[in-house]
Amino acid sequence: MPQFFTNKRLIILLGSIIILVALIGFSLRDRANITWPEKFVKDVTGFGQNIVSKPAGAVEEFFDDVRRLRNTYEENEKLRVHLAELAQLESDVARLEKDNAELRKVLEKEESLSDYEPVQATVIARNPDRWYELITIDQGESNGIEPDMAVMTADGLVGKVKSTSKFTSTVQLLSAHDAQNRVSALIQADTAVYGLIEGYDEEKKMLKMTKIPSDSKVKKGQSVITSGLGGVFPKGLVIGKVTDLVPDEFGLTQTALVQPAASFYDLEHVMVSKRAMTKVLPEEEDRQQVVIEEEGP
Amino acid sequence: MKKGLLPLLMIVLFYSDSVFMTFFSENAFNGAYVPVPRFFLIGLLFMSVFFDRNTAVKYGLLFGFLFDMFYTGLLGAYMFFLPLIVYVTSKLTKWLQSTLFIFFIIVLFDIALLEMMIYGLNVLVQRTEASFEQFVMIRLWPTLALNALCYILFAIPLRNAFQKFKIIFG
């Protein structure tokens, strides 16, 4: 049997294992965004990815369209019914929006947690080894995207921006297994019930909403939306519906299983929400007042 | 001019993994199975056997690095494992005859090896909670089946392409 490793090769192997461990340690660090060499590589690779996946996406969409063509008649019937309702709804929304703006003016509260500016993006790649539930979109820092922004589809929230480069961003889906993947949410019961979306039940395909007070009355089928309290996500993005409620191991809080409104599979077009109101601290003058009060007796 | 076709082929193979993901519905089989495309690895192994081992190691290093940065964000994993697998394969094919059938077995062994190493790494860094049985049922078998199919379809064109490259590069 020939010798598998000569001395030189053994040294190379050990050296590369050390480099491997160092690099993994580096990339697992809790960091706000990736370093500039990584950004550069991402932009170059993303450029190529754009060239390859845009035509591929177009071809796929064409076949989807052909498939949809078969149910056109039924869909048309359904849509006609909806359209009749829509006119009424539209006028209602316009009236309410106007009311809201006026009332806000009265309160001198121009910005709210729910204001956001959506940025449209196309999914150009999904991590082929599918371990970390990451997707790459074709919008980056040049379009004002920053880490931790909310990402959603027309149906609801799907994830948050993990890292950005100049022209691409990586999005971590809510279904990812990551302890840092938390979203502050609320259940729309008679009084709002707050909790945290953390974790994903792989088998049931449900999100887990934890830290719900044990005395809160939550019913099945109630909607779960983002609360806007996390600091970056706007308020009011749809997450899903409560399907089950279980007490946690100590019985102090409850955990709700939430059926996600948006599908985490086969994403093509997503929206990144730039929240309008990012200030957490009160206005300059108010802040001073607070400080003086604290320094009092 | 023709020499430029080799990097081009590898770039196409590199992106083919993610393009496959565009066409493959992730909800197929109700999401019960996760077949992972490893077309680039198959191409790389053909390169190591029918073209040149050291070039294949370099390509594995470079594209593994790109894969880590662009897709997974966990630096070093593929950059280390791809060259390692190329090296192991070149040793295996020296002992065994390199007919396409024997090579088929070797390629499947390599893919299983890569999947298991990546799984082990993910358990180590706590990025997954899947047990080994779950991993084998949900990921390993479907992945092997998908890539076996790919091998059967593309083995002969790939072998011919790399044999031609060998003549071009002299």
**Mean pLDDT, chain A, whole residue set:** 83
At A137 the pLDDT is 92
B23 to chain A, closest Cα gap in Å: 7
Q: Look at residue B110 and tell me whether its pLDDT is greater than 90.
A: yes
**CB within 8 Å: B19 and A178:** no
SS3 (DSSP) at A61: helix
The mean pLDDT of B99-107, rounded to a whole number, is 90
Record the tokens describing residue B101, joined without a space: 């059938």
* pLDDT band at residue A1 using 50, 70 and 90 as cut-offs: very low
Nearest Cα of chain B lies from the Cα of A266 at a distance, in angstroms, of 6
Question: Is any Cβ of chain A less than 8 angstroms from the Cβ of B75?
Answer: yes
> Contact B73/A27, CB-based, under 8 Å?
yes
Does residue A178 sit at the B interface (CB-CB below 8 Å)? yes
Question: Is B80 an interface residue toward A (CB < 8 Å)?
Answer: yes
Contact present, B136 and B33 (Cβ < 8 Å): no
How many residue pairs from chains A and B have C-beta atoms closer than 8 A? 113
Q: Is-contact A197 A237, C-beta < 8 A?
A: no
For B83-98, write each residue's pLDDT tens digit: 999 999 988 888 877 6
β-pair partners for A269: A122
Q: Are A238 and A261 spatial neighbours (Cβ–Cβ below 8 Å)? A: yes
Using alpha carbons, select from A195, A199, A205, A164 the residue that is nearest to residue A181.
A199
> What are φ and ψ of residue A208, in 5° steps?
-105, 125
| A135 contacts A141 by C-beta, under 8 angstroms | no
Count of Cβ atoms closer than 10 Å to residue B13 Cβ: 21
The per-residue pLDDT for B33 is 85
- Using the predicted structure, report yes or no on whether residue A297 has a pLDDT greater than 60: no
What does the pLDDT look like over A87-135, one tens digit per residue? 889 999 999 989 988 888 888 776 677 778 888 999 988 888 888 888 9
Question: What is the mean pLDDT of the segment spanning B119-136?
Answer: 87
Q: What was the ipTM of the complex prediction?
A: 0.84
Q: Which domains does chain A have, with CATH numbers?
A: 37-173 (2.40.10.340), 182-262 (2.40.10.350)
d(C-alpha B38, C-alpha B151), whole Å: 10
Q: Where are the domains of chain B?
A: 2-169
Label residues B113-142 b or e (16+ Cβ within 10 Å = b).
ebbebbbebbeeeebbebeeeebeebbbeb
pLDDT of residue B141: 93
**Residue in the block written with tokens 């007919």:** B99
Q: Between chains, do A134 and B122 touch, taking CB under 8 Å as contact?
A: no
- For residue A37, pLDDT over 70 is answered with yes
- Between CA A87 and CA A83 the distance in angstroms is 7
Predicted confidence at residue A296, as pLDDT, reads 43
Interface test mutation site (partner A, options B17, B20, B22, max chain A beta carbons within 10 A): B22
Six token digits for residue A157: 């929230």
